[in-house]
Structure 1
Amino acid sequence: METGYDIEGKTALVTGANRGIGRAIAEAFLRHGAGRVYAAVREPEAARPLVERHGDRVVPLRLDLTLPGTIAEAAESARDVQVVVNNAGVFIAATVLEDGALDALEQGIEVNVRGLVRMAQAFAPILAANGGGAFVQINSVAALKCAPGFATHSASKAAAYAITQALRDAMGRHGTAVLSVHPGLIATGMSAAAGLAGAAAPPALVGEGIVEALRRGDFHLFPDAMARRVGEAYRQFAREVVEADIEEYQPGQLRGGAPS
Structure 2
Amino acid sequence: MDFKGQTVLVTGANRGLGRAFAQELVKAGAKVYGGARKVETITDEGVVPVRLDVTDDVSVAAAAKELGDTTIVVNNAGVLVAGDDVDSIKAEFEVNFYGLVRTTDAFAPVLKANGGGAIVNVLSILSFVGRAEWRGYAASKAAGWSFTKSSREALREQGTRVIGVHAGFIDTDLTTGIDAPKITPQDVVAQVLRALENGDDEVLADERTRAVKAALSA
Give, in angstroms, the shift of residue 37 of structure 1: 0.2
Gaps of 5+ in 1: 95-99, 238-260
Partner of 2:129: 145
Separation of aligned partners in 1, 2:93 and 2:104: 15
- The answer to whether the 8 A contact 2:116-2:159 is kept is yes
1:157 matches 2:141: yes
- The answer to whether the 8 A contact 2:126-2:138 is kept is yes
Give, in angstroms, the shift of residue 171 of structure 1: 1.3
How do 1:89-104 and structure 2 match up within 5 A?
89-94=78-83, 100-104=84-88
Q: Which of 154, 157, 173 in structure 1 is aligned with 2:157?
A: 173
How do 1:77-226 and structure 2 match up within 5 A?
77-94=66-83, 100-192=84-176, 195-196=177-178, 198-226=180-208
After superposition, give the CA deviation of every residue in 1:19-59 in whole Å (9 maximum; x if it has no partner): 1100111122122221x1000111111112x13xx3xxx21
Q: Which structure has the larger Rg? A: 1
1:31 matches 2:27: yes
Amino acid at match of 1:82: T
Separation of aligned partners in 2, 1:59 and 1:197: 35
Q: Which runs of 4+ in 1 moved over 4 A?
A: none
Give, in angstroms, the shift of residue 175 of structure 1: 0.3
Separation of aligned partners in 2, 1:177 and 1:32: 20
Q: Secondary structure at the match of 2:78?
A: coil
Instruction: Mark the CA change 1:132 to 1:197 in structure 2 (over 3 Å): closer, same or farther.
Output: farther
Give, in angstroms, the shift of residue 197 of structure 1: 5.3
Structure 1 length normalisation: TM-score?
A: 0.79
Identity among equivalent pairs (%): 41
Partner of 2:11: 15
Separation of aligned partners in 1, 2:157 and 2:82: 35
1:45 matches 2:40: yes
Structure 2 length normalisation: TM-score?
A: 0.93
Separation of aligned partners in 1, 2:201 and 2:212: 15
Give, in angstroms, the shift of residue 233 of structure 1: 3.5
Give, in angstroms, the shift of residue 198 of structure 1: 4.7
| Count of aligned pairs | 217
Q: Secondary structure at the match of 2:192?
A: helix
Partner of 1:255: none
- The answer to whether the 8 A contact 1:43-1:62 is kept is yes
Separation of aligned partners in 1, 2:213 and 2:194: 16
Instruction: Mark the CA change 1:59 to 1:151 in structure 2 (over 3 Å): closer, same or farther.
Output: same
- The answer to whether the 8 A contact 1:6-1:211 is kept is no
Give, in angstroms, the shift of residue 143 of structure 1: 0.8
- The answer to which structure, 1 or 2, has the higher relative contact order (CA under 8 A, 6+ apart) is 1
Partner of 1:62: 51
- The answer to whether the 8 A contact 1:188-1:197 is kept is no
Separation of aligned partners in 1, 2:5 and 2:125: 31
